């Protein structure tokens, strides 16, 4: 009579490798972060309040005092403004991304992920994808508010959608900067401060709120080659929000804003994703 020793041994399935594992693991982490956001709705609500305040304040407080293309029309300024507000919203999400990753590091969640057979970069990729979903939701709400205060687009739906996709691409690129900051500090509070301190000069030394031609020469050159400005300019072009009489600056990113926006965003993703994953691996040893 044969014994059980003759039976074939049970072998545990080998984990997937390469791109398949990385994608699958990233989606699992993204789902985990999205579920967490739904359980803490104030994270989403508070994230929407600030951009809505910017829309209302700039539209009604400064709208009649800032000249755009030789016009002081508040309605014209609202259309000029909104691309800048949209871009500012997606980039300010960087601070939240950094704080979330710093919080995971502080609570030891990263150590738990290390014990699992998963791709190392999946933790960061999943987090940034979840932040991208939250940013998209915020943009939808903000667009509705903008329509209520008088913002309108003057191009076809495909171009308008392309404008929003460029904004989301910029937001995703900047979330990798936030990820690197979150991995480089010790507390979520430091990540929030570190994620905002450089964003204010980046967004205000740009064409988001006023035309760059009105700036001093040295600031104008910075603003025109600012990746943030390229996306704002591209969104205005795709939304049809240039005011009558407006002439784009001669700088290459301002003359080819859509291409410049894509190039800037992809370069930021490649550079800062590489740095963030390297930092994550060195912090996990």
Whether 261 and 174 have beta carbons less than 8 Å apart is answered as: no
Burial of 232 (0-12, 13-18, 19+ CB in 10 A): buried
Least confident of 33-42, 114-123, 229-238: 114-123
User: What digits encode the pLDDT tens for the residues 201-222?
Assistant: 999 999 988 888 888 989 999 9
Instruction: Indicate whether 136 pLDDT > 50.
Output: yes
> What pLDDT is recorded for position 238?
96
pLDDT at 193: 81
**41-45 CB contacts, 8 Å cutoff, 24+ apart:** 43/96, 43/134, 44/134, 44/137, 44/138
Across the chain, mean pLDDT equals 82
Domain spans of the chain?
17-283
* Distance, CA of 24 to chain centre: 22
- The whole-number pLDDT of residue 1 equals 46
Residue 131 CB neighbour total at 10 angstroms:
28
| Element counts in the chain: helices (H) and strands (E) | 12, 0
- pLDDT, tens digit, for every residue of 49-101? 877 887 888 777 766 566 665 555 667 778 888 999 999 989 988 887 788 88
pLDDT at 103 over 90: no
b/e for 47-57, b at 16 or more Cβ within 10 A? bbeebbebbee
Give residue 65's pLDDT: 62
Torsion, Cα of 40, 42, 45, 46 (10° steps): -130
pLDDT in tens, 22-36: 788 888 888 887 887
In the predicted model, is pLDDT for residue 236 greater than 70?
yes
Measured CA to CA, the distance from residue 263 to residue 260 in angstroms comes to 5
* Residue pair 175/93 in contact by the 8 Å Cβ criterion: yes
Q: 174 vs 12, which has greater pLDDT?
A: 174
Q: For 222, which DSSP code?
A: H
Q: What is the model's pLDDT at position 114?
A: 67
pTM summary value: 0.85
Integer CA distances (angstroms), 80 to 21, 76, 117, 262, 283, in order: 44, 6, 49, 21, 44
CA-nearest of 62, 38, 80 to 211 is 80
């Amino acid at each position: 009579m044969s014994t059980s020793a003759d039976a074939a041994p049970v072998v545990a399935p080998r984990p997937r490798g390469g791109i398949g594992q990385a994608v699958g693991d990233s989606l699992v982490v993204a789902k985990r972060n999205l579920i967490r956001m739904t359980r803490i709705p104030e994270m989403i609500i508070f994230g929407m309040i600030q951009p809505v305040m910017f829309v209302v304040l700039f539209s009604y407080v400064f709208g009649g005092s800032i000249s755009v293309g030789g016009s002081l029309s508040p309605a014209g300024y609202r259309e000029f403004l909104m691309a800048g507000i949209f871009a500012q919203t997606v980039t300010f999400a960087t601070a939240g991304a950094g704080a979330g990753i710093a919080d995971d590091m502080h609570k030891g969640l990263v150590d738990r992920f290390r014990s699992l057979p998963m791709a190392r970069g999946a933790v960061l990729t999943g987090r940034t994808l979840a932040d991208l979903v939250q940013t998209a939701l915020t943009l939808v709400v903000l667009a509705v508010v903008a329509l209520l205060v008088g913002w309108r687009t003057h191009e076809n739906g495909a171009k308008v959608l392309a404008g929003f996709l460029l904004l989301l691409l910029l937001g995703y690129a900047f979330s990798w900067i936030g990820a690197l900051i979150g991995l480089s500090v010790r507390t979520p509070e430091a990540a929030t401060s570190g994620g905002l301190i450089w964003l204010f000069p980046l967004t205000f030394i740009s064409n988001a709120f006023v035309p760059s031609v009105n700036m001093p020469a040295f600031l104008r050159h910075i603003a025109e080659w600012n990746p943030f400005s390229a996306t704002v300019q591209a969104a205005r072009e795709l939304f049809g929000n240039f005011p009558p009489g407006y002439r784009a600056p001669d700088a290459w990113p301002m003359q080819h804003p859509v291409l410049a926006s894509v190039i800037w965003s992809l370069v930021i993703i490649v550079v800062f994703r590489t740095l963030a994953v390297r930092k994550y691996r060195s912090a996990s040893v």
